[in-house]
Every structure is written in structure tokens, then in C-alpha cells.
């Protein structure tokens, strides 16, 4: 009997489930049930503190006609499509620079990583807000260079910039992962290329990039998902303005749920965005088949 038990416990199927058990349990307890509840809410008119009433698809038809929601999707996409590539490119660039023979690479690598660590704090968001204010550092620098101070938070066309820059400022997380990847590329590859007459630029595009492509994919997925969920910066720095130019969808959900007390509508919006994000992620994965090198 004991032997049977041992063999049973050592079957891959069982081992896998045992080790994955925490996630599975957690998923059912604290994720699936709340998600099911929120799906239910999305079909209701639910104002916290008041009775719930079923209204079917009304919330969903409402959101397709909701200018503010459509705008929220648009500005969120703009934010994601600008901040993520910039972050990745910059992260890769700096990671590459730091693999050269310079003193203090570990120090600088950690230094560049600090913003990613503390970026989520309120104080830092407030500092960033101040830096781009009318009388803040950026405008002072602009004037010193002979330009005019700009109204970063007052101009719809400009306001995305401080937020994107704040995101790019946190490129450290992507950079570290790229740095690790670059380290692992065997030096012999480069040496062979050099012998064949390739210059640094060619090596970069023909060796480094392809070797890094799986990592680029990983970073792309992670950064895209996190960019879609951006909330704190919009909440603290611009509060969605001006004229909803930075009304990211996470902020809109929060306002609907807790400021306007429309829990039902907020839930509907969230589910729509979840589906959109899922589609985007799927597309990225599908496209990866054509550009990610498999060993």
C-alpha cells in the first residue's frame, strides 16, 4: 500500500498539481469567485449601499455609446503604444552600453534600477508632478535653453509626455533583464563575426538582437500588461485631465466605482478592458512566432 502511495505521489501529474496547488487554490478562492461576482455586477445597476438590480446588457450598451469610455480606451492605447517601445528601446540601449568595459557598471545598473523600485510611491508621483509644473525644473531648463515655458498639464497635446517620461524613467526593470540576456550571449559568436569582418553595428543587429528576441518578447508582454493597468500616476499627477486627455481606463474604472458609486458600470468597463488586453497579449504571442528565435 505504502509503495502504491509513493508511486502515485511521484507521478508527474500529481507532483505538478501538488506544487501548483497554492496557485490553484488561490485562484479559486480569491480570484475566480470575486471575478464571477464582478461579472455578475456588470449586468446590474449596483450602487454601493443600495440594493442591486438586474439590468441585463444595459451597462454594455451604455459603454459603447460612452464618449468618455471610448476616449479612455484611445488614450490608454496611446500611452501603451508610446511608453512601452520607448522603455524597451531605452532599456536595451543602456543595457548594451553597460556591458562595455567601464568601471562601476554594477553601481550604475543598480542606480538606474532605483526608479523602478520606488516609482509606485505617492511622494515620487508628487515630485514628478512638480518637476513638470509651470515653474518646475523642466520649464526652467527650457527657458535657460532659450525656449518658452510650456503648460505641460494644461495642453492636451503635451500632457501625455510627462506621464510617458515617468514610465520611461522606470526603464530599469526592463534594462536589468536585457543586461542579463546580453551577458549570456557567448563571446565566441562575436569573435567569429569579427573575424568575418562584421562591425559593431552589424554584430548588434545580427547577433545580439536575435539572441535577445525571446527576452524582448518577455519584456514586451510584461511591460504592455503593466502599462495598460497604469493608475497611480494618472490619479495623482493629472487626475485624468485636461479634458480627459489622460483619463486612463484604470482611472476611469476607479472613478466610476468609488467616486460615482456605479459599481455595476465599473465592472462592465473592466470586463471589456480585460478582453481587449487579452486579445492584445494573444496577438503579441502569435506574432512572436515570426520574429522570436527559438533555440
Partner 1 sequence: MKNKKKLALVSMITATALSILSGCGSSGSNGGNEGSEANNSDQVHLKMAWWGSQARHDATVKVIELYEDQNPNVDIEYEFYDYDGYYTKLGTLAASESIWDIVQLDNQFPQYINQLEPLDEFVDNKIIDVSNTNEKYLSTTTYDNKLVGISNGVNSFALAYNKTLLDEAGIEEPTDDWTYEEFEKMNAEIKNKLDIYGVSRMDDFIHGAIMYVPQTEKGLNFYDKSNLSTTLGFDDPNILAPYFEMRKNMVDNGSYPELGGIDTNTDSAFQAIRDRKAAMVFIASNQLVELMKGMPEDQEIKLINPPRITKDGEAGIPLRSSQMLSISKNSKNKEEAAKFINFFQNDEEANKILAGERGVPIMENIREMLIKEGNPATLATFEYLEKVSELDNGEINVFDSSLNPEIQAQYNLIKEKVILGELTPNEGAQSIFDFATDILK
Partner 2 sequence: MTNKKIKKIALYLFILILGLIMIYPVLWMISGSFKSDNEILSGSLNLIPKEFKDGNYSAGWAGFAGISFFTFFKNSFIVSSISTIATVLSSTCIAYALSRIEFKGRKFWFAVMLVTMMIPAQVILIPQFLIYNKLNLVGTYIPLVLPHFFGQAFFIYQIMQFMVSIPKELDESAIIDGCSKYSVFTKIIFPLLKPSIITTIIIQFYWKWDDFMGPLIYLNNPKTYTVSIALKLFADAGSSTSYGSMFAMSTISLIPVFLIFLFFNKYLVQGISTSGLKD
> Among residues 63, 124, 159, 163, which is the contact residue for partner 2, using CB under 8 A?
124
Q: How far apart are CA 47 and CA 241, in angstroms?
A: 25
Minimum separation from the CB atom of position 155 to partner 2 (A): 18
Given the rule CB under 8 A, which of 45-53, 103-111, 218-226, 280-288 is the region that contacts partner 1? 45-53
All three cell numbers of 97, joined, read 552600453
Q: Is residue 100 involved in binding partner 2 (CB under 8 A)? A: yes
Its sign, for the CA torsion 241, 245, 250, 252, is positive
Burial of residue 131 (number of CB atoms within 10 Å: 0-12, 13-18, 19+): middle
Q: Which is nearer to partner 2, 180 or 192 (CB)?
A: 180
Burial of residue 122 (number of CB atoms within 10 Å: 0-12, 13-18, 19+): exposed
What residues does 44 pair with on adjacent strands? Answer: 54
Q: Which is nearer to partner 1, 50 or 287 (CB)?
A: 50
Minimum separation from the CB atom of position 220 to partner 2 (A): 12
Q: Is residue 60 involved in binding partner 2 (CB under 8 A)? A: no
Q: How far apart are CA 182 and CA 204, in angstroms?
A: 10
Least Cα distance to 210 among 190, 225, 196, 195 occurs for 190
DSSP state, residue 11: S
Q: Is residue 147 involved in binding partner 2 (CB under 8 A)? A: no
> Among residues 4, 135, 188, 286, which is the contact residue for partner 2, using CB under 8 A?
135
Q: Decide which of partner 1, partner 2, none touches 277; Cβ closer than 5 to 8 Å per partner kind.
A: partner 2
> Among residues 61, 121, 143, 243, which is the contact residue for partner 2, using CB under 8 A?
121
Q: Which is nearer to partner 2, 70 or 126 (CB)?
A: 126
> Among residues 6, 183, 187, 259, which is the contact residue for partner 1, using CB under 8 A?
259
Interstrand relation of 44-45 and 53-54 (parallel, antiparallel or unpaired): antiparallel
Minimum separation from the CB atom of position 61 to partner 2 (A): 19
Amino acid at each position: 500500500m505504502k509503495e502504491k502511495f509513493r508511486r502515485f505521489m511521484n507521478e508527474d501529474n500529481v507532483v505538478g498539481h501538488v506544487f501548483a496547488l497554492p496557485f490553484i487554490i488561490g485562484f479559486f478562492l480569491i480570484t475566480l469567485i470575486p471575478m464571477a461576482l464582478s461579472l455578475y455586477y456588470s449586468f446590474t445597476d449596483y450602487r454601493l449601499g443600495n440594493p442591486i438590480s438586474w439590468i441585463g446588457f444595459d451597462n454594455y450598451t451604455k459603454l459603447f455609446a460612452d464618449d468618455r469610455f471610448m476616449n479612455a480606451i484611445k488614450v490608454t492605447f496611446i500611452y501603451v503604444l508610446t511608453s512601452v517601445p520607448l522603455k524597451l528601446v531605452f532599456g536595451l540601449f543602456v543595457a548594451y552600453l553597460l556591458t562595455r568595459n567601464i568601471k562601476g557598471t554594477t553601481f550604475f545598473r543598480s542606480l538606474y534600477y532605483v526608479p523602478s523600485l520606488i516609482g509606485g510611491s505617492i511622494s515620487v508621483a508628487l515630485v514628478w508632478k512638480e518637476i513638470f509644473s509651470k515653474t518646475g525644473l523642466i520649464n526652467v531648463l527650457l527657458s535657460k535653453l532659450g525656449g518658452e515655458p510650456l503648460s505641460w498639464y494644461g495642453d492636451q497635446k503635451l500632457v501625455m509626455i510627462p506621464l510617458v517620461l515617468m514610465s520611461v524613467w522606470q526603464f530599469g526593470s526592463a534594462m536589468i533583464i536585457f543586461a542579463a540576456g546580453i551577458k549570456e550571449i557567448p563571446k565566441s559568436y562575436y569573435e567569429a563575426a569579427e573575424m568575418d569582418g562584421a562591425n559593431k553595428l552589424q554584430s548588434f543587429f545580427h547577433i545580439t538582437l536575435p539572441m535577445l528576441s525571446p527576452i524582448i518578447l518577455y519584456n514586451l508582454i510584461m511591460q504592455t500588461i503593466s502599462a495598460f493597468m497604469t493608475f497611480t500616476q494618472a490619479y495623482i499627477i493629472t487626475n485624468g485631465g485636461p479634458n480627459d486627455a489622460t483619463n486612463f481606463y484604470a482611472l476611469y474604472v476607479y472613478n466610476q466605482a468609488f467616486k460615482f458609486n456605479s459599481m455595476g458600470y465599473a465592472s462592465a468597463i473592466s470586463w471589456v478592458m480585460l478582453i481587449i488586453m487579452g486579445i492584445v497579449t494573444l496577438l503579441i504571442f502569435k506574432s512572436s512566432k515570426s520574429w522570436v528565435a527559438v533555440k
